[in-house]
Amino acid sequence: MKHEAILVLDFGGQYNQLIARRVREHNVFCEVLPYTVSIDRIREGGYKGIIFTGGPSSVSAADSPRCDQAVFELGVPILGICYGAQLMSVMLGGQVQRPEKREYGKTDVCVNSASKLFHDVSSETTCWMSHTDHIHEMPEGFSRTAWTDTCPVAGMENTAQNYYAVQFHPEVMHTPEGSKMLRNFLYEICDVSGDWVMSTFVEDSIKKLREKIGDRKVLCALSGGVDSSVAAVMIHKAVGKQLTCIFVDHGLLRKDEGDNVERVFKQQFDMNLIRVNAQKRFLDKLAGATESEQKRKIIGEEFIRVFEEEAKKIGTVDYLVQGTIYPDVIESGVGDAAVIKSHHNVGGLPDDVDFKGIIEPLRDLFKDEVRKAGLELGIPGDLVWRQPFPGPGLAIRVIGDITEEKLFILREADAIFREEVKKNGLGRDIHQYFAVLTGIRSVGVMGDERTYDYTIALRGVTTTDFMTAEWARIPYDVLDIVSRRIVNEVRNVNRIVYDITSKPPATIEWE
Ligand code: XMP
């Protein structure tokens, strides 16, 4: 069954993913494509509506991003947001202007509640503004639906054509009635029925996978992370033991993690799981490596080699499973981000395994949707709500060279920290938290003795997308217990520090 879909046309704004998520929260499937996408591709999509996103450019600039003028001939409702609103105005013959003052932050906006977009919205409502230009003259056929003290046209519509535009951002939570506005656009203007429901999606996917795979063999690299776990269980539900999972234990996992992964997938799901105990192999390769990129590279490469060797033992497989999720797929094509770290996802593509095709059952899902699908499939909550854990594992949380002794210290300290955070009910609010074994040793005193031991750093962050993050305000009492427990229970540690830097300028991981 093909779902109804909305297209989010991406002009490079920072909230574009959020718009897509919001649409899907209203049970409507949604795709994000760069503004450069061809009109034929848009036509093929059969979208029920299009949303133009915000973006950093000024529409008045000569090289400002523009979509194909033909989108206005599709007969599909369009909602322009911020840059998207200005663009709609200019492309249809209106004008924008740069006022003296830039409008930024929470703003009181008056709206005309008779507009379908603002149905059931208070006539004076708070919205999040962030713009330099604003619409000065509306195109013909449009009427004004919202305004502020300084922005004469904060919203406009052409009901005959079903074109709507807002200068503010309805998708962010600082616009409390924004969700209602998006819902109005979807249900009142695009006339969707809301057929995107997780249980149906999971059932449909299992059915489709069964048809596609038939009696063929499938191979999956399981890391124990949310994405690969959900992908594997979904395929297992479809074709059972035709799926073999390879779990490479590189010895850089957290305390008891390898055993837990094995237990869940072998015992609970009765899956064909091969655990490869490659700890020594990885440690040998890492010996002497001190630089973070060098460590990442060694682990990435070794992972592929181990995986290939195991896969060879199984013989020819037909399909390889990838836990790719939607944000990995979107090539917005708008702007190039600088490479800060070479991310390695355990489960990356091996170059020497014989297979006919790749299966990516989560390609259409956002992270929170992957979690919902996981719960739907009966995966334990602990695993579904697992915080992100990097492919290179503890190797990038031990600063400098890696030894078994250092990994042991870090594992113990990290387990105490995580246990206390959970015990104090903070597990869901802090999105990622872990310990780091810094390369620093310093002087301490224990009993009457001088010590010269390691410093453990604790890191906790809150974030929505892991691109930016705030350091988590963990209560002092909790930090205090953690600190005492670590120095008392873990040998060779005599000092604990808490990392209070945001990202940027720091990154979440220390390496
Ligand atoms: P940074 O440290 O760049 O991390 O702020 C952002 C998020 O990405 C995770 N991370 C990785 N994940 N392979 C992964 O699969 C990697 O090499 C890697 N490095 C960082 C990090 O844990 C955080 O969630």
Instruction: For 192-223, write each residue's pLDDT tens digit.
Output: 999 889 998 899 999 999 999 999 999 999 98
CA of 390 to the centre of ligand 1 (A): 5
Q: Which ligand 1 atom is the nearest neighbour of the CA of 388?
A: 24
Looking at residue 278, its amino acid is A
Q: What torsion do the CA atoms of 361, 362, 363, 364 make, to the nearest 10 degrees?
A: 120
Retrieve residue 35's tokens.
């503004």
- Cis, bond preceding 327 (omega within 30 deg of 0): no
Residue with tokens 């915080």: 387
Of the residues 4, 31, 103, 171, which is catalytic? 171
> Could you confirm whether 171 is annotated as catalytic?
yes
Residue 372 has φ and ψ, to the nearest 5°, of -60, -45
Q: What is the structure's pLDDT at 7?
A: 97
For ligand 1, atom 22, the nearest C-alpha belongs to 390
> Could you confirm whether 124 is annotated as catalytic?
no
**Do 54 and 11 meet the contact criterion of CB atoms below 8 Å apart?**
yes
Calculate what percentage of the chain has a pLDDT beyond 90.
Answer: 78
What CATH class does 5-189 carry? alpha beta
For the chain, the domains span 5-189, 198-384, 403-498
Retrieve residue 431's tokens.
């999105």
Residue 262 has φ and ψ, to the nearest 5°, of -60, -45
Q: What is the structure's pLDDT at 345?
A: 52
CA of 246 to the centre of ligand 1 (A): 22
Residue-level pLDDT, tens digit, the chain, 511 residues? 577 999 999 999 888 888 998 999 999 999 899 999 999 999 999 999 999 999 989 999 989 999 999 999 999 999 999 999 999 999 999 999 998 878 888 999 999 999 999 999 999 999 999 888 999 999 999 999 999 998 999 999 999 999 999 999 999 989 999 999 999 999 999 999 998 899 988 999 999 999 999 999 999 999 888 999 999 999 999 999 999 999 999 999 999 999 999 999 999 999 999 999 999 999 999 999 999 999 999 999 999 999 989 988 988 899 999 888 887 765 434 444 445 556 555 445 666 667 888 999 998 888 889 999 999 999 999 899 989 999 999 999 999 999 999 999 999 999 999 999 999 999 989 999 999 999 999 999 988 999 999 999 999 999 887 888 999 999 999 999 999 999 999 999 999 999 999 998 999 999 9
**CB of 507 sitting under 6 A from ligand 1:** yes
To test ligand 1's pocket by mutation, which of 254, 328, 341, 397 has the most ligand atoms within 8 angstroms of CB? 341
Distance CA 282, CA 306 (A): 10
What CATH class does 198-384 carry? alpha beta
The 3-state DSSP class for residue 226 equals: helix
Q: 403-498 maps to which CATH number?
A: 3.30.300.10
To test ligand 1's pocket by mutation, which of 431, 433, 466 has the most ligand atoms within 8 angstroms of CB? 466
**Do 487 and 494 meet the contact criterion of CB atoms below 8 Å apart?**
yes
Q: Do domains 5-189 and 403-498 have the same CATH topology?
A: no
The DSSP call for residue 484 is H
> Could you confirm whether 67 is annotated as catalytic?
no
**Nearest-5° angle of CA 448, CA 451, CA 455?**
135
**CB of 297 sitting under 6 A from ligand 1:** no
Concatenated DSSP letters for 3-45? PPEEEEEE-S-TTHHHHHHHHHHTT-EEEEEETT--HHHHHHH
CA of 509 to the centre of ligand 1 (A): 7
**CB of 409 sitting under 6 A from ligand 1:** no
